[in-house]
Amino acid sequence: MARLFAAISSCMATFAWELISTNKTGKVWSLTSWLDQADPNKGNFELKMDPKKSNGVFLMRGTEILWMSGPWNGYGFAFLPEMLSPYIFNYFNYSMYSDENETYFSYSLYNSSVITRFIIDVTGHMRELLWFEESQQWMSIWSEPRQFCEVLNSCGPFSSCSEDTTSCRCLRGFYPSGKQQGQDGGCMRRVALTCGNGDNRDGFFMMNDVRYPVSSTQQINSSYNFPSGPQVSNSDAKACGEACLSNCTCSAYAYNTSGLCLRWYGDILGLEQLSAEDPNGRTIFIKLAASKFDNGRGDREDPSQDILLFDMEMSITTSSSNFLGSENPRKQKRKDAPFPLFSFDSISLATDDFSSENKLGEGGFGPVYKGKLLNGKEIAVKRLSKRSGQGLEELKNETMLIAKLQHRNLVRLLGCCLEQGEKILIYEFMPNKSLDLFLFGSDIEGLLDWGTRVRIIEGIAQGLLYLHQYSRLRIIHRDLKASNILLDNEMNPKISDFGLARMFGDAKLQANTNRIVGTYGYMSPEYAMEGLFSIKSDVFSFGVLLLEIISGKKSTGFYHCSSLNLVGHAWELWKGDRVVELMDPKLKDQIPCRMQQRYVNVALLCVQEMAADRPTMSEVVAMLTNELTVLNSPKKPAFSNARNMTNSSNQPANFSVNNVTVSLMEPR
């Protein structure tokens, strides 16, 4: 049986947790959730020990397995590598004991002055809570499952789940089982294994950068379906593979240099594809039929046919609590928070209750604070103000987009918080704040030399190129400006603020909107006047930003006797062959004449009035990085400013001057 109990001593102020399994009786003990926040009756979720004695722990909803810890490896559970991180390992004492009568796992705290408790909340999350005496509140310091891919069988058998691409993909040699879109039917073999017919020429294909699967779902007894974890043994790599090949039910194996062999039997469940940079990535070998290797090139099917097209909005913007809290979450479209989720208490603690000392700045959306988590990680906290007009849709949009993008020139989103009516986004902290402070800030302007500016320009261009051409879906940023370019400790640029961004399919070139949002001075004329936007709209914004970087002057606050704005001023200087007058005087003689001419030429090509005349970001990158690329002469740019455009249309607008995106609705 399984038994779990918690003992909290008011004297020792420690938490002890035990799971015990014994064959003596049929009695089952488990830790269960409450029915709801106010009702302590038995809820929908329970935690219990694996009756197959794999020394693993399962989170269940009824008879359905939602999550498993993996087997005990002597130091921690296989699927919980964070147990061995210094942040956790130095605080908790783990113990696993087994004999012929019983097996149990327990943990307690080394520091008896620390008060913690372990719960399963009503959404199906396991949480470790830490008591903070000063605030007199509990704060969550650990939670599982944290992401969609961590929910068992989220993609079905023989498929891989990816948090980066928000999709489930059939493994090589498999195809979708035919279930309706959005369900977890998983995948089936294209060709049956030859094992068992006397002609065993099956083989394996190698998958790198994965999180190990949990294996097949097998009927253990009349009450529960428990997945069987991998079979673990000690052997060399060759013997490990041969053992799997000779067993008709073995589907995959893995081997590490310490001599540990893992073999999975039956359907492969819970395989997650990680990024190449993820240190938790492992290598696994999946068994395929002999015919898949006969041509010497392995599987030839178009991998695009093996993608399970799950609803993008649902799988990104639905929180993990929704995956755990509904009877069949993949059939429902929820409008709740994206994940991972931070508690309001943890953000309040990290920012010292949003103190003014930690305030980094404020835009039209609200203030941004610097914070530090308990593990020492510095974060930036964007707290949307109620008066900003940016609501849940903008927050969902930003999270949906940026959480799944991976590029060195895009800011990384760490999570969000929607508790207590708040709308908060948590980002990686950028110690050098935003580009506009260096270009226009009175205290630190002038600290950018020409080499640094070139690196920033090229980094922004590479980030936009990724959004337009190399991300899974084409993304139009729609609010590119100096204040939305953040700088890390090495002054590398990162594009931020995706609240106004839009996604396009590969075949779609432009779209139209009645709701004009963004910042005047950076908007392309077709967007500001007609609501038409495309990748060329971002190119226009990039051209304006490029002029600001090389001149050190604001686009929207600049006026010259002969021109309306910075773009117009640059055009007049270009025509008069006087581009040297546009250069930031702080750069003095740092810029060769040919480079001055070239960068102004590129900028003016980007801000041409007709969208069709502007280059793509691919062409812009080539112009900036290859001096052999021939540049065309620019045509007359668009002349527009916020003052004379406010009466040009009857459409409502979200506009700003002074580089702040706001949601002020008035006729233009």
Ordered DSSP codes for 608-626: BSSGGGSPPHHHHHHHHH-
Radius of gyration for the chain, computed over Cα atoms and rounded to the nearest angstrom:
29
CA distance 251 to 265: 5
Task: Please tell me which residue in 436, 479, 538, 584 is annotated as part of the active site.
Answer: 479
Q: Strands, E, within 488-599: which ranges?
A: 493-495, 502-504, 510-512, 516-517, 532-534
CA distance 39 to 30: 18
Say how many residues make up the chain: 668
Are 516 and 528 spatial neighbours (Cβ–Cβ below 8 Å)?
A: yes
Is 479 part of the annotated catalytic residue set?
yes
Q: At what angle do helices 617-625 and 450-465 cross, to 10 degrees?
A: 150
Q: Provide the CA 463 distance to its chain's centre, in angstroms.
A: 16
Nearest partner of 129 among 119, 121, 33, 145, judged by Cα: 119
Residue 201's H or E segment, with its range, is: none
Beta pairing class for 271-273 and 159-162? parallel
CA distance 229 to 587: 63
Other Cβ atoms closer than 10 A to 282: 15
Q: Provide the CA 93 distance to its chain's centre, in angstroms.
A: 32
φ, ψ for residue 230, nearest 5 deg: -65, 145
What are the beta bridge partners of residue 34? Answer: 42
CA distance 619 to 637: 18
For residue 268 the two structure tokens come to: 């492969």
Q: Catalytic residues, which ones?
A: 479
